């Protein structure tokens, strides 16, 4: 290489280096994550004061929750206190263990020890059909999250879903499930997440949500329409006039328990309560979301309503207020059950 | 302005959502989330001096979601079946998605076959000739696109607009003469056999 060529090369290298530096600076500026590891939009900075206040509150509740978790048997019987504390939000540090205790997945995991090996499930080749669907969904689950950009986390998610598709081959994997397992994996070890997933599918009947034909989803959409008719009659009528069907906006609400729909910190709070109260709370929070937006929705025609729902995460206002009002809606258990029976009767023929 | 409903279907991860996003926002997001259930977007386009409002229904691609699709196909002016040119299986699935359309509508709907991901030419598994053959056999429209680079996406929606307008004019002309002969709208709607309609509603898994 001649000296002039060498110079040129050096110049080029230097330029490259500079460019690279600029790129890293740029990416530092661009990529901010919130405390849960979600990518923040460039203009949105963390409100430090608000965050500090939240942290202070959380530190206080950490002591309370530590005591509860250490004495779960005793506290789990005190429904009033438990409910109050769950509604106030489970501290992040104890969320994983609390979710396992509330759902009873810790007991199931123990009970299945020696009978079903998680490690055998996720390496099995018995359900190749589900497997190819899972693989295509892995990097499309919480794509804005720091964790799920990495291969290791994606592998964990893959293994839990794969294990489920072997554990229950009849239901197998269905799109939407990845958001549920992904959410659990934020707070649990792989095996714990798997057994909690199993409890959700079995005891919380979520497998009927995802089963061929989506029988439970159909039923819940029917029930939801009745809830709307009874508790938000004006909106119900407006939606009827505009041909808005619940399936157009609420399918992903119910299939992922809002995991794919609302801002992550709010999703966690909803899950805290959902795991304790069950589906009735999802009807309540859905109603609260509609009530907050009732005035606006009543003024919109078909097309704008559907688009409005698409963007619902930006339209829920103060989360605490929303959760509070959801808790205060007195949707009747009896009616919910009656509507379920009605649906079953209609569809038995 | 008239609205027209368009339903997108096709295998998982072929790029249905990405094509729609490219068209609406002129943007491509490599990290798009998988669609759960159905999604909706709309846009007005101008073709042949007319503005047309398109309502786009985007559906989840996993086979299991197929049973949720009929109610969206029912009133669609046009159906877009998307496949991935780097994935033979997604091309073979066209038949499967066609069944869903034909069960609901017979041949009474325009179908557009779209081969997406032309940016991945090196990995191509389905040739343009094959697509052409499949489309011509069934009387479908066809095009290859890349949601990633934007290749042919505008063209796709222009063609969609043109064929919808054409069909709409045809339909209006068909109805007109009957009205002229003092036939009321009532009689036209009665031409549909109510028993047949009922059967249709009851069939299918949902």
The complex's ipTM works out to 0.80
A245's CB contacts (< 8 A; 6+ apart) are A239, B71
Checking if the pLDDT of B203 tops 90, the result is: no
Q: What is the pLDDT of residue A6?
A: 62
Q: How confident is the model at residue A23 (pLDDT cuts 50, 70, 90)?
A: very low
Interatomic CA distance for residues B73 and A102, integer angstroms:
42
Average pLDDT over residues A287-299: 97
Sign of the dihedral defined by the CA atoms of residues A47, A49, A55, A60, in that order: negative
Q: Least CB-CB distance to A251: which of B32, B36, B205?
A: B36
Q: What is the pLDDT of residue A151?
A: 84
pLDDT band at A43 (very low <50, low <70, confident <90, very high): low
pLDDT band at A270 (very low <50, low <70, confident <90, very high): very high
| Residue B195 Cα, gap to closest chain A Cα (Å) | 17
Q: Where is pLDDT greater, at A123 or A100?
A: A100
What are the distances in angstroms from CA A273 to CA A80, A122, A264, A266, A270?
Answer: 13, 30, 15, 11, 5
The whole-chain average pLDDT of chain B stands at 87
Lowest mean pLDDT among A222-231, B8-17, B68-77, B92-101: B68-77
Residues on chain A touching B37 (C-beta within 8 angstroms): 176, 247, 251-252, 255
How many CB pairs (< 8 A) connect A and B?
77
Dump strand ranges (E) for chain A.
Answer: 32-33, 39-40
Chain A residues with CB under 8 Å of B62 CB are 133, 174-175
Secondary structure class of A260 (helix, strand, coil): coil
CB-CB contact of B56 with B153 (8 Å) = no
Q: Which residues of B touch A (CB under 8 A)?
A: 3, 12-13, 31-42, 53, 55, 60-62, 64-65, 67-68, 71, 205-206
Per-residue DSSP letter, B20: H
Give the closest of B34, B55, B206 to A175, CB-based.
B34
Range with lowest mean pLDDT among A187-196, A267-276, B20-29, B98-107: B98-107
The least confident of A18-32, A118-132, A165-179 is A18-32
Q: Name the nearest CA neighbour of B52 among B157, B198, B201, B174.
A: B157
Mean pLDDT of the B120-135 span = 98
Can you give the pLDDT at residue A24? 46
- Across residues A104-131, what is the average pLDDT? 92
Window 275-334 of A: residues touching B by CB (8 A cutoff) are: 303, 306-307, 310
Q: What mean pLDDT is reported for chain A?
A: 89
Q: What is the pLDDT of residue A144?
A: 81
| Distance between B177 CA and the closest CA of chain A, angstroms | 30
Residues in CB range of B88: below 8 A, 6 or more apart: B125, B126
Query: In this predicted structure, what is the pLDDT of residue A25?
Result: 47
What is the pLDDT, as a whole number, of residue A161? 97
What pLDDT is attached to residue B174?
83
Does A137 contact B65 at a Cβ distance shorter than 8 Å? no
H/E segment holding residue B47: strand B38-47
A199 in reach of chain B (CB within 8 A)? no
Listed in sequence order, the residues at least 6 apart from B94 whose beta carbon sits closer than 8 Å to its beta carbon are: B10, B81, B83, B113, B134
Lowest mean pLDDT segment, chosen from A62-66, A124-128, A275-279, A282-286: A124-128
- Range name among A1-10, A284-293, B158-167 with the lowest pLDDT average: A1-10
Return the pLDDT at A67: 95
Q: Read off the pLDDT band of B186 (50, 70, 90).
A: very low
Contacts of A142 in chain B (CB under 8 A): 33
Q: What stretch of H or E contains B76? A: none
**How far is Cα A194 from Cα B163, in angstroms, rounded to an integer?**
50
Given a cut of 70, whether residue A98 has pLDDT beyond it is yes
What is the distance in angstroms between the Cα of A20 and the nearest Cα belonging to chain B?
22
pLDDT exceeds 80 at position B106: yes
pLDDT attached to residue A8: 58
In this prediction, residue A2 has a pLDDT band, given cuts at 50, 70 and 90, of low
Burial of A53 from C-beta contacts in 10 A (0-12 / 13-18 / 19+) = exposed
Q: Residue written as tokens 């109260």?
A: A277
Nearest Cα residue in chain B from A250: B37
Given a cut of 80, whether residue A339 has pLDDT beyond it is: yes
What is the phi-psi region of residue B82: left when phi exceeds 0, alpha when psi lies from -120 to 50, beta otherwise?
beta
pLDDT value for B177? 63
Is B198's pLDDT higher than 60? Answer: no
Average pLDDT on A36-42 reads: 75
| Chain B residue with the nearest C-alpha to that of A172 | B64
pLDDT at B133 over 60: yes
Q: What percent of chain A has pLDDT over 70?
A: 89
Section B152-170 average pLDDT? 95
Count of Cβ atoms closer than 10 Å to residue A335 Cβ: 14
Q: What is the mean pLDDT of residues B158-167?
A: 95
Q: What is the pLDDT of residue A5?
A: 61
pLDDT of B15 > 80? The answer is yes
pLDDT for position A17? 54
Distance of CA A234 to the CA centre of its chain: 29
Please report the sign of the dihedral spanned by the C-alpha atoms of residue A117, residue A118, residue A123, residue A126.
positive
What pLDDT shows up at residue B43? 95
User: Chain B neighbours among A 171-190 (CB < 8 Å)?
Assistant: 174-176, 178-179
Locate all alpha helices (DSSP H) within A278-328, ordered by sequence.
279-292, 294-298, 302-310, 319-328
* CB-based contact B110:B80 (threshold 8 Å): no
Q: Cβ–Cβ of A255/B41 closer than 8 Å? A: no
- Nearest-CA distance B85 → chain A (Å): 16
Q: In a 3-state reduction of DSSP, which class is residue B3?
A: strand
């Amino acid at each position: 290489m001649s000296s002039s060529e060498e110079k040129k090369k050096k110049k080029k290298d230097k330029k490259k280096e500079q460019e690279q530096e600029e790129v890293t600076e740029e990416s530092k500026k661009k990529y901010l994550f919130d405390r849960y590891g979600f990518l923040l939009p460039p203009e949105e900075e963390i409100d430090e004061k608000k965050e500090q206040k939240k942290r202070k509150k959380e530190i206080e509740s950490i002591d309370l929750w530590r005591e509860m978790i250490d004495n779960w048997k005793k506290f789990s019987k005190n429904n009033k206190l438990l409910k109050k504390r769950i509604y106030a939000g489970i501290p992040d540090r104890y969320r994983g263990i609390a979710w396992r205790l509330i759902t009873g997945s810790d007991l199931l995991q123990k009970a299945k020890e020696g009978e079903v090996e998680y490690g055998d499930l996720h390496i099995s080749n018995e359900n190749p059909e589900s497997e190819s669907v899972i693989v295509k969904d892995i990097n499309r689950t919480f794509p804005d999250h720091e964790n799920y950009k990495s291969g290791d986390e994606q592998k964990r998610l893959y293994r839990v879903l794969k294990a489920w598709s072997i554990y229950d081959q009849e239901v197998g994997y269905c799109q939407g499930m990845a958001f549920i397992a992904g959410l659990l994996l934020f707070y649990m070890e792989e095996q714990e997440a798997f057994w909690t997933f199993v409890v959700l599918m079995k005891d919380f009947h979520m497998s009927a949500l995802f089963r061929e034909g989506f029988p439970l989803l159909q039923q819940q959409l029917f029930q939801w329409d009745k809830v709307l008719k009874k508790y938000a009659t004006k909106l119900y009528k407006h939606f009827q006039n505009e041909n808005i069907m619940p399936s157009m906006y609420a399918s992903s609400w119910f299939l992922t328990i809002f995991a794919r729909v609302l801002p992550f910190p709010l999703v966690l709070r909803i899950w805290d309560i959902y795991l304790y109260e069950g589906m009735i709370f999802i009807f309540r929070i859905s109603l609260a979301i509609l009530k907050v937006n009732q005035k606006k929705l009543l003024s919109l025609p078909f097309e704008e309503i559907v688009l409005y729902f698409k963007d619902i995460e930006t339209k829920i206002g103060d989360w605490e207020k929303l959760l509070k009002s959801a808790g205060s809606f007195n949707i009747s258990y009896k009616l919910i059950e009656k509507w379920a029976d009605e649906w079953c009767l209609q569809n038995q023929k | 302005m008239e609205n027209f409903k368009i339903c997108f279907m096709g295998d998982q991860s072929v790029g249905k959502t990405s094509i729609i996003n490219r068209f609406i926002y002129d943007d491509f997001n490599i990290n798009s989330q998988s669609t759960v259930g159905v999604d909706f977007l709309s846009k007005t386009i101008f073709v042949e001096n007319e503005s047309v409002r398109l309502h786009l229904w985007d559906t989840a691609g996993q086979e299991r979601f197929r049973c949720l699709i009929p109610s969206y196909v029912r009133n669609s002016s046009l159906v877009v079946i998307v496949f991935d040119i780097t994935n033979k299986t997604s091309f073979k699935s066209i038949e499967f998605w066609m069944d869903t359309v034909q069960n609901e509508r017979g041949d009474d709907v325009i179908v557009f076959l779209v081969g997406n991901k032309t940016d991945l030419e090196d990995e191509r598994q389905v040739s343009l000739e094959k697509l052409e053959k499949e489309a011509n056999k069934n009387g479908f429209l066809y095009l290859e696109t890349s949601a990633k680079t934007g290749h042919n996406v505008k063209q796709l929606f222009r063609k969609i607009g043109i064929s919808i307008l054409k069909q709409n004019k045809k339909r209006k002309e068909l109805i007109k003469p009957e009205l002229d002969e003092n036939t009321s709208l009532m009689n036209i709607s009665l031409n549909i056999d109510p028993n047949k309609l009922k059967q249709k509603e009851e069939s299918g898994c949902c």
